Amino acid sequence: MPSTIDAKTGAAEITFGPQIANRQWPLGLGWLFQFARRKPLGFAGLMVLVIVGGAAAFAPLVTPYHYATTNFGARLEGPSLAHIFGTDNLGRDLFTRVVYGARVSLGISFAAVILAKSIATTIGIVTGYYGGWVDKIGQRFVDMWIALPRLIIIITMIGLMGASATTLIILVGLANAPTSIRLIRSTVVSVREEAYMEAARALGASNTRIMVRHLLPNVFHIVMFSATVTLGAVILIVASLGFLGYGVPPPQPDLGAMLSGAGLTYMRQNPWMAFWPGIIITAVVFAFNVLGDALRDVLDPRLRGSR
Amino acid sequence: MSKYIAQRLLLAVPTVLGLTMLVFFVLRVLVPVDAVDLQFAAAGMKDPEQEAALRESLGITGPLPLQYLSWLGRLMTGDFGVSFYTGRTVVDELALRIPTSLEVGMGALMITIVIAIPIGVYSAVRQDSGLDYLARGGAILFYAIPGFWLATLILVFGSLWLNWAPPTEYHHIWEDPIANLKQVALPMFLLGLSPIGTLIRLVRTQVLEVIRQDYVRTARAKGLAPSTVYTRHVLRNSLLPIVTVVGLQVPNLIAGTVIFEQVFVLPGVGRYLLDAVLRLDLFVLMATNLFFGSLIILSNLVVDVSYGFIDPRVRYQ
């Protein structure tokens, strides 16, 4: 029942969506239950991310060992009660290493995507708002940026300058910045002509104020779901870099590096070593994609299939 | 049409120039280590005079802008420099490796198109059927599985269960086509997985959009065979975004060739680059970066030109 009318006085009480949700579900979690009902697959993705992300965030609390502690009495073991994911060639606990690997990979990916989307949002809003030659130059620049062999340049630079979490974040962030600029810009271009924009200008709002207070909220949902999907892609890129040996330096565990050539001989003796890091990457990327799809459908049905 | 193509070609020129500037900037300015110093240090020699002479002969002395221009001038004449490691010209070495990379990359692209487009169209035509759900789930899964993980699993279980390992000796396609195909088929397929996932989803959404158009209903109403409706009216009209996304896969395919050439020991440009990074082989790095960059620019050009063929309206904008 969206609204109620008092039978005696005839006064109408109009209630809005969120309030209904508040009434039915405690803790204001109504939107979550609605999301679960409307988008079960997206909700499953969210759950996977909460579990993996939670384990990664609280890694020291959920892991029973240290990621670099070796135990030569327990090398290359399969899953057991002491080591639920088994152990690697140095007797290190695989569960601990996978959780810490996810912590490193997810942390770098998150930071890189925040950087990428901040750049994309700024350029998209500025070029879309000002139009004219700013827009023309901006678009050409973005075309060029997209046309770069991104992973190749990252490998070259990391290979020559050495890897650290910061370099990885900056390089991967810059490499993934241009992908959503066009979408943000085109939304800004259409919003620019709305009446309330004119009203804001008539009230004497500065360009900066218009961009931050009026344009940013209009593109924010696009930034959010494109960030979700980009996160999936960036996790794969970071994992590939680790796999090729250009990720964070050891002994820091890295999901990609755990799968690469050096451990291959040992993986024959304990295939679990090859299994866990890959299945975690797959699950997380899968989850980000289904969640991104669901968010896009919920937040902006017009954009369905626009990616 | 030729005017449109000429226009597109002209637009690619500044992009190529920008690429050369970036490559030069990254490798000559950003990188804190000096390639020549490193080569001498690796050889255990310390001879400033000889070093200076080598720099002079390589054309890497003097102010950086001049260095860039002289490098650009040499590129124009087809002089890409010499590999520090082998002492051979980079052009000769690249010529030996480009066919392998192109074969794997193009093969993957072909596999992608041949598999993804029919599945995507079918998935849209039979929307919400069991097979549609299977195709959609499979598409996300294909995209989400890291190809290098599958490669690792194949290597591990191949040797465990089948006693199989990838051959270390490479057969070029012109030497032994059968042996070559056996060798590249697996990397090709693994490389195609992620683009297949992306493309199935895109084809499906595009076709779904076109299928609801009035002219499709008209085509059906006038009694055309469903296959004609789908190929001539539906697919033809959803082709533009599909071609765009196929073009956008090229950078991913390049990144993939680097990975799979390394995993399956194929002598392509990607492995050449990785080796050059380890040895700080300056001119090889510049050439390989330029090669991959130009490949992307070329693919964008092809996509642009094919727009003109697919939709004549594009030519007159």
Contact check, Cβ <8 Å, A149/B295:
yes
Q: Which residue has the tokens 């693994």?
A: B190
**Which residue of B146, B288, B292 is in closest CB contact with A282?**
B146
Chain A nearest CA to B11, separation (Å)? 10
Q: Which residues on B lie below 8 Å from A264 (Cβ)?
A: 152, 155-156
In which residue ranges of chain B is pLDDT below 50? none
User: Which of chain B's residues have a Cβ under 8 Å away from the Cβ of A140?
Assistant: 14
Interface check for B195 against chain A (CB to CB < 8 A): the answer is no
Hey, of B34, B140, B284, which one would you mutate to test binding to chain A, going by the most A CBs within 10 A of its CB?
B140
B293/A147 touch (CB, cutoff 8 Å), yes or no: yes
B156 touches chain A (CB under 8 A): yes
3-state secondary structure of B122: helix
Q: Cβ contact (<8 Å) for A150 and B255? A: yes
CB contact under 8 A, A152 and B209: no
Closest partner CB to B259 (pick from A148, A157, A243): A243
CA-based nearest distance B289→chain A, Å: 7
Provide the token pair at A78. 């399969």
Q: CA of A161: which chain B residue's CA is closest?
A: B31
The H or E element that residue A233 is part of is helix A216-244
Report pLDDT for A220.
87
Q: In chain B, positions 263-302, which contact chain A (CB-CB < 8 Å)? A: 263, 273-274, 277-278, 280, 285, 288-289, 292-293, 295-297, 300
**B293:A148 CB<8 A:** yes
Positive/negative CA dihedral, A74, A77, A80, A85:
positive
Q: What is the mean pLDDT of each run of 10 residues along chain A (307 residues)?
A: 49 48 58 80 89 86 75 72 74 83 92 95 92 87 82 87 88 90 87 86 88 87 86 92 86 83 72 86 92 80 49
Q: Note the pLDDT of residue A24.
A: 53
Give the three-state DSSP class for A12. Answer: strand
Contact A149 B296 (CB under 8 A): yes
Which of A146, A155, A156, A264 is the best residue to mutate to test the B interface, defined by the most B CB atoms within 10 Å of its own CB? A156
The whole-angstrom separation of Cα B187 and Cα B166 is 10
Q: Residue B98: its pLDDT value, please?
A: 93
Q: Is the peptide bond before A251 cis (omega within 30 degrees of 0)?
A: yes
**With left for phi above 0 and alpha for psi between -120 and 50, is residue B165 left, alpha or beta?**
beta
Structure tokens at A71: 């135990």
d(C-alpha A201, C-alpha A197), whole Å = 6
3-state secondary structure of B82: strand
